[in-house]
Structures are given as C-alpha cells and as structure tokens.
Amino acid sequence: MPGTTRLPVSVRQGFDNVRRRSSGRLDASALLNIELLKNLIFLLFCLRWTRRAYWKLKGRGLVGTLVELYNEARRIIYGWFLRMPGVRTQVRQQVDEALGKLQTKLVPASANRYLTLPKEGWTEEAVRKELEELANMDHVRWEDGYVSGAVYHGESDLIALQTEAYGKFTVANPIHPDVFPGVRKMEAEVVAMVLNLFNAPPGAAGVTTAGGTESILMACLSARQKGLVERGITEPEMILPETAHTAFRKAGDYFKIKIHLVSCPGPSYQVDIRRVSRLINRNTILLVGSAPNFPHGIIDDISALSKLAVKHRIPLHVDCCLGSFMAPLLEKAGFPTAPFDFRLKGVTSISCDTHKYGFAPKGNSTVLYRTADLRAYQYFVDPSWSGGVYASPGLAGSRPGALIAACWASLVRVGEQGYVDACKTIVGAAKQFVAFVRASPACDAELEVMGNPLVSVVALRARPRSGISVYDVADAMSARGWHLNALQNPPAVHVAFTMPVARAWERLAADLEACVEAEREKGARAQGRGRRRRRHRRRRQDQQEDGRHGGAVRRGGEPAQQERRGRHGEGVLGFVVQGLMMGLAFFFFFFFFINTG
Ligand SMILES: *Cc1c(COP(=O)(O)O)cnc(C)c1O
C-alpha cells in the first residue's frame, strides 16, 4: 500500500514521521485508518450520486430522464455548433439582419436624436414641445383597445389624479422613513389593503416592490433562505408549472435555485399535480402555482398544490401578479372562481401586481407572506459597512416614493366597488368573447379556447385537425391593427382583456372571425392547386374522404407548417447537426449526471 498512494509529498512525510515514532503494530492501524477514511469518503460520494439519480428517476421516470438528458445534450451541442468558425459568421449575419429589421420597425428614421447633453439647458417651452411630440409618436392604438394587456385602465381622470399624487412626492424616498413619513404610511396601507384582499391571517406581512418580477424574485429568495436556515438546504430546488412566469426562471438563475418544470397538459392546462408530487425531494424549497398564468390565463389547482405543500412542509407561492385585483373579486362580481389565496393552509406567499388590475402606474407591485418571519428572509442587513449600518427590504436601495403615492391614490380612489365593477366589465367581456368564439362556426371549427379561463386572459390555439396556423391568424389580426400576444409550446395566441380591450371586444371578435375565414379560404385555395397537381396519383376514394372530413383545409396548412419547421435546420446542415447531436448525446449522458444530477 505505501508507495501506491498518490498523496502529496508533504503529507506523506508527515505520515512517515508518525510511522518512525510509533511501533510496527500502530503503524499498520494508522494506515488502515487512512484507507478507511478514503473508503468512507468514496462511499459518501457514491451515496450522494445514487440519491440524486434516484430523485431524478423518481421525478421523471426512466423515459422522462432519458428525454431530459437528450434535450440537454442537444442544447449544449447545438450551442457549440453555433459557435463553430464558419457557422458563427453566418449566425452573426442573420442576427444582424434581424436586429436591423427590428430597428427600422421600432426607431423611426426621421426623429431628432439628442446624444449629448445640451450645452445650455432648454427652455421649459422647448422641453414641453419635444415631450408632446414624443408622446404623439405613431404607435399601436392602445387607447382604442387594440393592444392586449399593456394598459389596464388608461382613463384620463385616474391618470390625472395619479400624476398629481406623483407630483406631491417627487423627491420622496422610503429609504428615509423619518424624512418622508407620509410615504411610509402609504406603503404600509397599500400592503395592508392587498393583504386583506387575499384573506391574509393575523400576523401576515408584505412589502411593495417595483413590479411583479421583483415580487417573485423576493418570494423565491425568501424560500431559499428559509430552506438554508431552517433545514440546511445548500442545493435548493423549486418546482414550477411550465406556464409559470419567466420571473421564476430568472430567480433560479440569479439565486442558484435548480428548477424543475412540470407540464400543464390539456384539456385543463393546469399543472400536472402528480408530476409535481414525484419531483418533491429533500432539497425542494418552493412549490409554485399561478392564479392565473400569463400564457393561458388558467388558474392552477392551487388546492391540490396546497395539500402537497402542507404534507411535505414546503412553502407554496401563488403568483397572482396577473390576477391582481380581478382574481380575488371574481366571486363578488358574480363569476365562478377557484380557491387560491391564504385561506388555503399551504399557501405561504402571494405576489400581486398593483400595476396591473390594481390600475396603479407601472413600477408598483406587492409580495405578501403568511408570516413576518417569512418576510424577514428577504431582507438584507449589513451592520459592518463603512457607510453605516445598512438595511433594505428588497432588491432596491433608494425607491421612488412618488410611485407609492400614486399607487395608494389609485387604490383608495377606485375602491372595492370600483374594482368589482371593473371585474364585471373586463372578465365579462372575456366571457362574451369566449362565447362568441365557441358559437361562431368558422372560429369554432378551427380554434380551441385553451382550458377554462376564469379571469381576464383568453388563449386560442388551432384545433388538432385544423388546417390553419394560429400564427397566420395573429398576423392577419396585426394587419388589422390588433396587437395580440403570440405564445409557443404549443403555438397559440392570447388576448389579455383590459378596460380599453373590454370596450372593443365586439370589434375584436368580428375581426377574428373574418381573419379565420380568410385563412380557411386561403387554405382551401392552396389545397385546390395541390389537388390539381396531385390528382393523377391519388385514388378517388381518398378524395371523397378528405371532402367529408374537411381534409381539404387541413392539407392547405401544410406548406406554412413546413416553412416553420424548416427554420430549425435545413438540408445537409440540418442532417449534420442532428447526427452530431445523436452521436454525442450518449457521451453526455454520463456528464449530465455528474454536473446536474
Ligand atoms: C405580469 C406578470 C408577472 C410580473 O411581470 P412584471 O412585468 O415584472 O410586472 C408575473 N406573473 C404573471 C402571471 C404575469 O402576468
């Protein structure tokens, strides 16, 4: 054994000294101990990886694990491929081209650009004139309801009041609560009002933030710190519905929390609870549900998630950023709802955007916690800084007190009845739109409303047998001035109803029907051409079946779909990439386990 170890010389000499000083019998036992130690460490190492492999197999199943490994390997190899010398320049070219197009679309060429400070300040008059021009630049008409989401209220009276509130507190900064006591009071009241809306129990707490993303980041940070402090979790993981907002993935990235995505299959498009359950392990610091999610406007089964959270004693965050003041008031507005707030025992934190359906100006959101202890986990305190003892509740240091004032003013101006009425208008319009899509023969034949949207967002996807592409419909809607949100995985579009959209819903529905009809006709014409070309090699019976099942329209959509697929990899290049990926996937199998378990 001596001589075969690869210990550093210094350490070996240390052992030699011990050996020299001790008798022969002791010598053997000392060596034995080192071997034992080595074996123990190796055993622990193996145990650790066995445990990880077990969690992975339990969480995803054998096939799921293999698919995940393959996808990961593909992603990495594709990244390498794109960075290869010849390919890189091509990619660069295409990116530059796309950027150029974006630029011409977003930056009008004629506008004056001021790239250095003016030597002398402008007159107030000149500033006003320029501001007026900037405000009136050619834009998509949100005022007439053409934009999904984006502006949630937009009526001039409320905007004027918000501006006034802002003006009174322009210099205020809540980091100095003694200097701006009014802002501190308003902030506390905003939090209290939102807590009340979500039926928070006594002892609950919250903070205001700069937006939904910050609220979510903070909730994740709090859960991570809780896991670290209370359970010693150093390799935190959280489990997200695939449809949960990207802010959670951002939190994973920023705070080094491993993310498990769980599918949200139709027809409900809610997160698959059984899969969530299988992915829970000792490192899980947070479960997440949306009420509702951004892509499809669907409220996950929060009751079931809550049960899991209670059973495994894991925090559960409910993202109600989008639901904000609509979701909690569904019942009062007379609409069906589903439980999602603090009345469910497992819910430990909720994010709610006052700058969405709270109608406050942008830069306002809240994150609520079941206990003040949970809130404290997001705090940052540094007693040793030479600038003095420093403490701040969230990401920001200095914050705009003016925005808090404008938020507070919006909340108390609109009031509960105002929000209930808004809910009736907005959710009511969404429901009428859904009813229209289902009743319209053209829309119903081609499009499916995804799941059962209870709040303000309605997502549409092409039916499995439809021949039209939902993206083509969205493009046709764009040509008519509508700005809908395109979604992916699966391809779909959604409309987020707001006050302006709600007023325009009938126009929206009529235009949608017209666009779908136009796409159908296009499909049918393309099919007609295809049929003439192919007639000689097709059997008559085949044709008859197509006619009966609307196959004509179905095939008409094929070229568009192939065009989309073609973008990912074409001809020889695509073949080489695929080959490379397949070949190296196996190689990566091993490394994936080592690196990410
Ligand atoms: C808007 C939204 C958020 C937060 O987005 P911000 O743009 O940061 O305010 C989070 N979750 C959902 C579901 C949202 O719709």
3-state secondary structure 134-145: HHCCCCCCHHHC
Question: Is position 403 within any domain?
Answer: no
Q: Assess whether 427 and 371 both reside in one domain.
A: no
Q: Is the pLDDT of residue 374 over 70?
A: yes
Q: Do residues 322 and 426 touch, judged by C-beta distance below 8 A?
A: no
Question: Is position 100 within any domain?
Answer: no
The predicted pLDDT at position 381 comes to 94
Question: Is position 337 within any domain?
Answer: yes
Q: How many A from CA of 302 to the centre of ligand 1?
A: 18
Beta carbon of 247 within 6 Å of any ligand 1 atom = yes
Beta strands in 146-304 (DSSP E): 205-209, 237-241, 258-262, 284-290
Q: Assess whether 209 and 310 both reside in one domain.
A: yes
Q: Phi and psi dihedrals of 319, rounded to 5?
A: -90, 105
pTM of the model: 0.80
Q: Assess whether 211 and 328 both reside in one domain.
A: yes
The number of the ligand 1 atom at minimal distance from the alpha carbon of 214 is: 8
Distance, CA of 496 to CA of 330 (rounded, Å): 16
For a ligand 1 pocket test, name from 151, 152, 213, 340 the mutation site with the most ligand atoms within 8 angstroms of its C-beta: 213
Nearest to 173 by CA among 404, 331, 18: 404
Q: Assess whether 204 and 61 both reside in one domain.
A: no
Question: Is position 251 within any domain?
Answer: yes
Beta carbon of 245 within 6 Å of any ligand 1 atom = yes
Q: Which of 52-56, 210-214, 413-417 has the lowest mean pLDDT?
A: 52-56
Average pLDDT, whole number, for the chain?
84
Beta carbon of 496 within 6 Å of any ligand 1 atom = no
For a ligand 1 pocket test, name from 321, 325, 364 the mutation site with the most ligand atoms within 8 angstroms of its C-beta: 321
The predicted pLDDT at position 20 comes to 55
The predicted pLDDT at position 563 comes to 36
Among the candidates 23, 44, 71, a domain finishes at 71
What is the percent of the chain with per-residue pLDDT over 90, rounded to a whole number?
55
Q: Looking at the 3D structure of the chain, how many domains does it have?
A: 3
Nearest CA to ligand 1 atom 6: 212
Q: Average pLDDT, stretch 519-528?
A: 78
- Please report, in angstroms and rounded to a whole number, the separation of the first and last CA atoms in the chain: 33
Beta carbon of 241 within 6 Å of any ligand 1 atom = no
Q: What digits encode the pLDDT tens for the residues 308-349?
A: 999 999 999 999 999 999 999 999 999 999 999 999 999 999
Q: Assess whether 560 and 444 both reside in one domain.
A: yes
Among the candidates 378, 407, 436, a domain finishes at 378
Nearest CA to ligand 1 atom 9: 212
Q: Assess whether 373 and 430 both reside in one domain.
A: no
Beta carbon of 319 within 6 Å of any ligand 1 atom = yes
Q: How many A from CA of 320 to the centre of ligand 1?
A: 8
Q: Is the pLDDT of residue 203 over 80?
A: yes
Beta carbon of 301 within 6 Å of any ligand 1 atom = no
Beta carbon of 353 within 6 Å of any ligand 1 atom = yes
Q: Assess whether 427 and 327 both reside in one domain.
A: no
Q: Average pLDDT, stretch 185-208?
A: 96
Most distant CA atoms of the chain, gap in Å: 99
- The domain that contains 497 carries what CATH number? 3.90.1150.10
Question: Is position 188 within any domain?
Answer: yes
Beta carbon of 457 within 6 Å of any ligand 1 atom = no
The predicted pLDDT at position 192 comes to 96
> What is the four-CA torsion angle of 340, 408, 216, 450, rounded to 10 degrees?
50
Question: Is position 343 within any domain?
Answer: yes
Q: How many A from CA of 212 to the centre of ligand 1?
A: 5
Among the candidates 326, 361, 378, a domain finishes at 378
Tokens of 549: 């099942």
Question: Is position 405 within any domain?
Answer: no
DSSP per-residue string spanning 555-577: HHTHHHHHHHHHTT--HHHHHHH
Q: Assess whether 485 and 363 both reside in one domain.
A: no
Beta carbon of 290 within 6 Å of any ligand 1 atom = yes
The predicted pLDDT at position 153 comes to 75
Q: Assess whether 371 and 428 both reside in one domain.
A: no
Q: Assess whether 370 and 512 both reside in one domain.
A: no
The predicted pLDDT at position 547 comes to 36
User: How buried is 303 (Cβ within 10 angstroms: 0-12 exposed, 13-18 middle, 19+ buried)?
Assistant: middle
Residues ≥6 apart with Cβ < 8 Å to 452: 268, 298
Question: Is position 574 within any domain?
Answer: no
Q: What digits encode the pLDDT tens for the residues 240-297?
A: 999 999 999 999 999 999 999 999 998 999 999 999 999 999 999 999 999 999 999 9
Q: Assess whether 364 and 430 both reside in one domain.
A: no
Q: What digits encode the pLDDT tens for the residues 382-434?
A: 999 999 999 999 999 888 889 999 999 999 999 999 999 999 999 999 999 99
The predicted pLDDT at position 378 comes to 96
Beta carbon of 321 within 6 Å of any ligand 1 atom = yes
- The domain that contains 214 carries what CATH number? 3.40.640.10
Q: Which of 6-15, 50-59, 146-155, 164-173 has the lowest mean pLDDT?
A: 6-15
Positive/negative CA dihedral, 196, 198, 202, 208: negative
Q: What is the domain range of residue 553?
A: 420-535+549-564
Q: Assess whether 213 and 356 both reside in one domain.
A: yes
